[in-house]
Amino acid sequence: MEITCGCWSVLRRSVSSGSCKPSAESRSNSLTSFPRNSLVYDAATETRYLNASNREMCAPNEPRSSSDLNPNHLLQFSFHELKSATGNFRPDSILGEGGFGFVFKGWIDENGTAPAKPGSGITVAVKSLKPDGLQGHREWVAEVDFLGQLHHPHLVKLIGYCIEDDQRLLVYEFMTRGSLENHLFRRTIPLPWSNRIKIATGAAKGLAFLHGGTEPIIYRDFKTSNILLDTEYNAKLSDFGLAKAGPQGDKTHVSTRVVGTYGYAAPEYVMTGHLTSKSDVYSFGVVLLEILTGRRSMDKKRPSGEQNLVMWARPYLADKRKVYQLVDPRLELNYSVKGVQKVAQIAYNCLSRDSKARPSMDEVVKSLSPLHDLNDFAILSYHARMSQQGRRKKKQPEGTRNVTLNQPKRFNESPSGRQHCK
């Protein structure tokens, strides 16, 4: 069923008319693919890839023709409305920045597209595309294409868009607690273990939803900065500019240019460009490691053997006696003992070098869900051991205690051979 509503007519015409062609510099940047052999890179490159993925300028697949997928609910904003809603895009309203441009905080009326006073109406996040940004107009269309049709508790909600002259903006629900990346790596207060499990489970459910449809979707850019959190730490996937329709029928994979973010891409995808849902599973394993360890997937600041998180952690994941050395030290002993074991096992399976050996995201969700109810925190075990040791000392026989108390004085022999009483 071809979608013919007004907003989509505008989008289709704009893509086909050729008016969206990026500048030569933008095309050059957007076609820059993943360096295939790089495991380490300089600080500037790290910052670039942490803020935004390298982008691929390719038109998304046609919208899925299911009767229940309808982008009519999206609001079409004017540029003036969004300019007013964000206070003229003032710097102090910036929520984040990436290759696409800036994300601003704004307020709109509850019943339409009109701007509202700060603190009233509905709080939104407005993503503004740079004219020569890495994301490009076609990726902007991909974002509208997918999020305009997909609805799930663990996908960020797209409220509307603006396409006016050369302006391209997207309007999302505002996620109160920002990104998982900020909580793991940029805040002094460590993210509690229970919240980490909740976030991992929610993100897994989002991926499982994308993979589980009759026409599966490969997210292709799963990373901590694309996992947003609401007030209750519910995780929602954002940024669908790199999402791609998965293989169908007898096809085992989709062949595509290698794009994404350093440290998260599956090795077989980097080497061959063959994309499957198991590519997302590998990326999930990397994020699960980041949640467990509190370390970035790639970190130039660490010693040479620890800069690549997967390479450093893999030997520990395979050894139950060493796995606790992976736990984020900021958690101290405030984590579930069995939970750590299970998370390490799931991460190990997701990071299998053999893509066929990796679990499906449905299986990952089933493995993570029971971990919410575990209360065997390491600190409780520690206190229990200390109490047992204390009771053992009190239960020592009276004579033994006397011997201990009445031990003869110890002597140290000096170099001269004389003994000195201590």
Unique residue bearing structure tokens 């669908």: 240
Beta bridge partners of residue 334, listed in sequence order:
none
Residue stretches of the annotated binding site: 127
Residue 54 corresponds to which tokens in the numbers above? Answer: 């390298």
Active site residue 221: yes
- For 223, other C-beta atoms within 10 Å of its C-beta total 26
- Going by the annotation, the residues of the binding site for ATP are 127
Is residue 348 a contact partner of residue 310, using CB atoms and an 8 Å limit? no
User: In three state form, how does the secondary structure of 165-176 look?
Assistant: CCEEEEEEECCC
User: How far apart (Å, rounded) are the C-alpha atoms in residues 391 and 389?
Assistant: 5
Q: DSSP string covering 270-333, please?
A: HHH-EE-HHHHHHHHHHHHHHHHH---SB-TTS-GGGSBHHHHHHHHHT-TTTGGGGS-GGGTT
**CA–CA separation, 197 and 153 (whole Å):** 17
Q: Is the sign of the CA dihedral 107, 110, 116, 120 positive or negative?
A: negative
As to burial, measured by CB atoms within 10 angstroms (0-12 exposed, 13-18 middle, 19+ buried), residue 56 is buried
Tell me the sheet residues that pair with 136: none
Residue pair 116/108 in contact by the 8 Å Cβ criterion: yes
Active-site position among 145, 221, 239, 280: 221
**CB-based burial, 147-180: b 16+ in 10 Å, e otherwise:** bbbbeeebbbbbbbbbbeeeebbbbbbbbebebb
Annotated catalytic residues are 221
